[in-house]
Structures are given as C-alpha cells and as structure tokens.
Chains A and B, each alone.
Chain A
C-alpha cells in the first residue's frame, strides 16, 4: 500500500505545483501510515522531491512523451498505481492533470474528487473538502471507491518541507496508442502561466484599449506575476482567450490577485474567488469588486499603476 503522486514537469524541470501535490501526498500518507511514491515523466533531477516528503520516485524517460498525451500519461499512472498497490492517487489542477485524471479514474475504477482544497478530513470514510459552484461554496465529498483519486487545487495546500530523500528507479510501463497527436504548440515559454502563478495581475475594460496593456505587463514583470483579463476584454479581442479568467474562462487560485479597471461582475468574482488576497484599483467606488476585495484603491489606473510599479521596484530593490 502507498500513496501515489503525479509530479508534473515542464522542459524536464518540476513545476512548483509538483512540490505542492507532493506535500499533500505526504500528509495523506501520514494519515494512512504509509509512504509516498512519485511518478515523473521526463524530469531530469528528481532528488528535490525528497524535500517534500516523497520516499520513492518512479522515473519514466521516453522521448515520444515530450508532448503531453492524456492516454499515455494516464496509462503510465495506472501501471504505477498497480505496481505500488496505491490506495490513493494524487494529481494537480493543471490543464494536463485535469485532462488525464478522469481517464485514470476509469482505468483504476476509482472515484475522483477534483479541486480539493484541504487534506482529507477523515480517511474512513474518506472525505475531502472541494470547491464547487465556481468557488461560491465548498462541497464535503466522500470518495466511495477502493482506490481514490484526488485533484489538489493550486495554492490551496501550500508547500510543506520534509527532510527526506527520494530513491529514484527507472520505470518502463507499456505505452498505449496515443490517439491524439500534437501537431503544433503555441505558447509563450518565457511567461508565468495563470495556472502556475502565485500572483496574477488582471485588467478590464477600464484600460480603454489593448494599447494600454504595457503598464499591466510591466507591473506583472515586477511582481513575477501572470497577466489575465476580464471576459469583455477577451470578447473584444484586446487580449487572447487564454488570459480570460472567470466562470467561463480560466479559474484563478493565486495568493494575490490584482484587478485593475475590472468592475467585478458576479461571474468574474466567482472565477477568481479562490485567490487568497485580492486588490482592486478602480475609479468607481461603487464597483462590486470593492465588496470582494481585501485592499482597494479608488483611483485612475493610468495614475495608480505607474506609481505602484515605481513603489514596487523600490521595495524589491530593498529586499
């Protein structure tokens, strides 16, 4: 028996979320009195996983799998779960993890709870707390199957350091037919993605036009943040769809969410509500976002943002 965790990497290096799911897996393993086995696919150095409680690493190296493929990755995890006699399988909340988890659930005949925000409140019955109704509520869900799959929400559990060492061994599972073949990828590799970001800087129609996004990008750069936008902005074509956050866009669960010139429609607030700290900058003190925010500045974005950039640069220089 063990807890299996899929630790995602990109360009052979772990994503930050990999250490968070490893930390989560360690917490579950402690509850169950067992060990943590991580599965990595084309990650170079796996030793760092030991710092987050991983006892053993099953290392898959396969040049055919440099592009994510849900069928193949799910098949690898299924074989690893069987080899390790895993009772619980932990995945993250990236687009890729959410893509493979349901396929894995069918492969293992396992119940799957996604968007889980805390360690299990009980392991018998096995209950977890997950966000639902687009962050307007939490659901306490019991996973009834013998094998359980948990999808951990980003930035919900955090990193928990452990002084351990992870023993790596090569793992060569059989790879099924891919079924879906990647033809081309269109992705800015030098930018933090909304899914991985600890800080998200988001702007709305208050910016008046796409030509004014320079200061938003600069603010994001200073903070090491991802950029995002409201639905009207993506509908108007000012910014790409991939930046649209909210109920029908991408969910945001960052530590800090800064909203500039966004009034705060209920659908937008729902999508970003899982963020821990929210800051709003808006000229209209009646904008609904002020009711959802922790900190607010009533002011003109064109005056506030450049000043804030300067203040943050000074602050960063002092750190």
Chain B
C-alpha cells in the first residue's frame, strides 16, 4: 500500500480569529498552526497501516515554506517522506488539482485527507481529488480496513452510519472515528530527531485554474447579554422561547 496523507496547516482550535488588510486576509499574528484535526485522525490511521501492513506513508501539503514545521511534525509522528507543493493554497479546486499531480507522479493508491479543514471548511478537496484521478471516494469516513486491493469503510451518515465495500485506488475524507482521540500520537524526541533526516521534497506547482476566491471576511455580530431565567420560573422560559424568540 502506498499511502498519501493530505495535511492542511490550520490555526489551532482555540485560536482567536481576526482579519487584517481591510478584512481581506486572515490575521496570522500570534496564531499557532497545527495539523488539521480531521487530517491527524487520518495520519494516525495511516501509521497503523504502516505498522501492521507495511504501508509506505507520504504526507503532502500545498502551501508556502511556513507550513514546513507542520509537515515535519507529521514526519516526527512517523510518516516516511513529505512533499510540499510550493504555492499558496488559494481554494479547494486548485489545491485538488495540485494534489492530483502529486498522486499521479507518486503512484499512491490510498489517499487519506480530512473531510474538511477547520479554517475554510470548504469540504471539497478529497472529493474533487477523487473526481480528478478517477479513484473511489468515501467521505465522512470513521472506519477503514484494507485487504489487498479491497477496502471496507464505515461512513457517518445523518443519524447513523453505513458500511461500504470498495476498492483501491481510494480517496478518504476522514474524521474522528478513523482512530480515537486517545490514539493520536505526540511526537517523541526520537521521532523529532529522525524527522530531520527524512526527505521533505519541494514540488513546483502546476498551472491550475481556481474555482473560488476570497473577497473579504466578516465576524459575526457581537452577542447581546444572556437573559437569565430563574429555575423556579420556567414558565417564563417557555414564554420567551414562544413569544420572543419564536422558536417553539
């Protein structure tokens, strides 16, 4: 199995979100970047395939040099090699095209990405990549087993889950459930030392048309103060929900 794990470099989940340049750019000032959580579950599952089934694991990111620490962290967790496609990740459409070229060049047969990045929440790169390379695709994947070229996956659906059978080449839009939170690995010193010697290849981007572009950003309107209702007077709460909020 030749696995490619797509890694998005995103602000930590606790980050304060602000914008600069007249609300046209995300303000990176003071923000710590991490491996996108949905991708990290997939990376950890890939490590399992490496240990149990002898898979080869490469990680890839489309982005500038500032994303390399995130790729090094993935190497420290145990990936064998990293690729950075040297261009700004402007939208999901063009990122998927860059990734399709990486898959074609590297001959990967299992591509694990997160169902969405927690910054732009586009939720499109895994599906677009599958469409471009003509691979099978399972989104919202919460369980994956591979036997030869056959795969069994569990997909979260609205209100439950379903089990599907499919075959490699396969693209996964992964999320929590692929592994549990407690299975996530924190790189140890040995891993960090070894990561320094592992190859991090810089790939030049291809010419890829974009589908969408960010014009500007807005923050939600500030919230008014909470209206407190006494636990002795829940009739008031029912009344407020009915007559004021009009939601019941």
With A102-B127, A103-B127: A242-B237 Cβ-Cβ less than 8 Å: no
B235/A290 in contact, CB under 8 A: no
A312/B139 in contact, CB under 8 A: no
B138/A296 in contact, CB under 8 A: no
B214/A179 in contact, CB under 8 A: no
B137/A132 in contact, CB under 8 A: no
Binding site secondary structure of chain B: mixed
With A140-B217, A276-B247: A99-B241 Cβ-Cβ less than 8 Å: no
B212/A298 in contact, CB under 8 A: no
In the complex, residue of chain A having the shortest beta-carbon distance to the beta carbon of B140: A95
B237/A308 in contact, CB under 8 A: yes
A290/B164 in contact, CB under 8 A: no
Complex Cα–Cα for A95 and B230 (A): 39
Interface: B122 (CB within 8 A): yes
Interface: B193 (CB within 8 A): no
Complex Cα–Cα for A103 and B92 (A): 12
B165/A311 in contact, CB under 8 A: no
Hey, what's the 0/1 contact readout for A256-289 against B, CB within 8 Å counting as 1? 1000000000110010010011011000000000
In the complex, residue of chain B having the shortest beta-carbon distance to the beta carbon of A193: B159
Interface: A18 (CB within 8 A): no
A140/B218 in contact, CB under 8 A: yes
A295/B159 in contact, CB under 8 A: no
B237/A297 in contact, CB under 8 A: yes
Interface: B149 (CB within 8 A): no
In the complex, residue of chain B having the shortest beta-carbon distance to the beta carbon of A184: B163
A266/B14 in contact, CB under 8 A: yes
Contact residue among B121, B161, B211 (Cβ-Cβ distance under 8 Å from A105)? B211
Interface: A76 (CB within 8 A): no
Complex Cα–Cα for A95 and B211 (A): 22
Interface with A: B63-71, B80-88, B197-205, B219-227, which one?
Answer: B219-227
How far is the CB of B242 from the nearest CB of chain A, in Å? 7
B160/A70 in contact, CB under 8 A: no
Interface residues on B, range: 35 or more
Residue tally, chain A, CB below 8 Å to B: 93
Interface: B5 (CB within 8 A): no
B123/A267 in contact, CB under 8 A: no
How far is the CB of B188 from the nearest CB of chain A, in Å? 23
With A95-B140, A279-B237, A299-B231: A105-B213 Cβ-Cβ less than 8 Å: no
B124/A295 in contact, CB under 8 A: no
Hey, what's the 0/1 contact readout for B59-99 against A, CB within 8 Å counting as 1? 00000000000000000000000000000000111001000
Query: Inside 8 A of B248's CB, which chain A residues have their CB?
Result: 199, 223, 256, 312, 315
Query: Inside 8 A of B138's CB, which chain A residues have their CB?
Result: 180
Contact residue among B118, B125, B161 (Cβ-Cβ distance under 8 Å from A134)? B118
How far is the CB of A230 from the nearest CB of chain B, in Å? 13
Interface: B189 (CB within 8 A): no
Interface: A9 (CB within 8 A): no
A141/B215 in contact, CB under 8 A: yes
Query: Inside 8 A of B120's CB, which chain A residues have their CB?
Result: 132-133, 139
In the complex, residue of chain A having the shortest beta-carbon distance to the beta carbon of B135: A179
Query: Inside 8 A of B119's CB, which chain A residues have their CB?
Result: 132-133
Interface: B47 (CB within 8 A): no
Interface: B3 (CB within 8 A): no
Interface: B206 (CB within 8 A): no
B158/A196 in contact, CB under 8 A: yes
Complex Cα–Cα for A141 and B228 (A): 38
Interface with A: B48-56, B103-111, B174-182, which one?
Answer: B174-182
B159/A188 in contact, CB under 8 A: yes
Interface: B136 (CB within 8 A): yes
A181/B218 in contact, CB under 8 A: no
How far is the CB of A139 from the nearest CB of chain B, in Å? 6
Query: Inside 8 A of B234's CB, which chain A residues have their CB?
Result: 297, 304, 307-308, 311
In the complex, residue of chain B having the shortest beta-carbon distance to the beta carbon of A276: B247
Complex Cα–Cα for A18 and B96 (A): 29
With A140-B216, A187-B157: A111-B210 Cβ-Cβ less than 8 Å: yes
Interface with B: A20-28, A41-49, A112-120, A160-168, which one?
Answer: A112-120
A112/B93 in contact, CB under 8 A: yes
A106-158 contacts to B (CB < 8 Å): 106-107, 110-115, 127, 129, 131-145
With A102-B128, A296-B229: A186-B181 Cβ-Cβ less than 8 Å: no
Q: Contacts A241-B142, A295-B237 given; 10 further ones with Cβ under 8 A?
A: A70-B139, A133-B118, A133-B119, A137-B17, A139-B214, A241-B156, A256-B247, A266-B14, A280-B226, A297-B231
Binding site for B on A (CB under 8 A): 67-68, 70-71, 74, 94-96, 98-103, 105-107, 110-115, 127, 129, 131-145, 179-188, 191, 193-196, 198-199, 223, 235, 241-242, 244, 247-249, 255-256, 266-267, 270, 273, 276-277, 279-280, 290-300, 303-304, 307-308, 311-312, 315
8 A-B pairs in the complex with CB atoms less than 8 angstroms apart: A99-B139, A99-B140, A111-B93, A273-B220, A294-B227, A298-B231, A300-B231, A315-B248
Smallest CB-CB A-B distances: 8 pairs = A102-B127, A111-B211, A187-B160, A106-B131, A299-B231, A193-B159, A195-B158, A256-B247
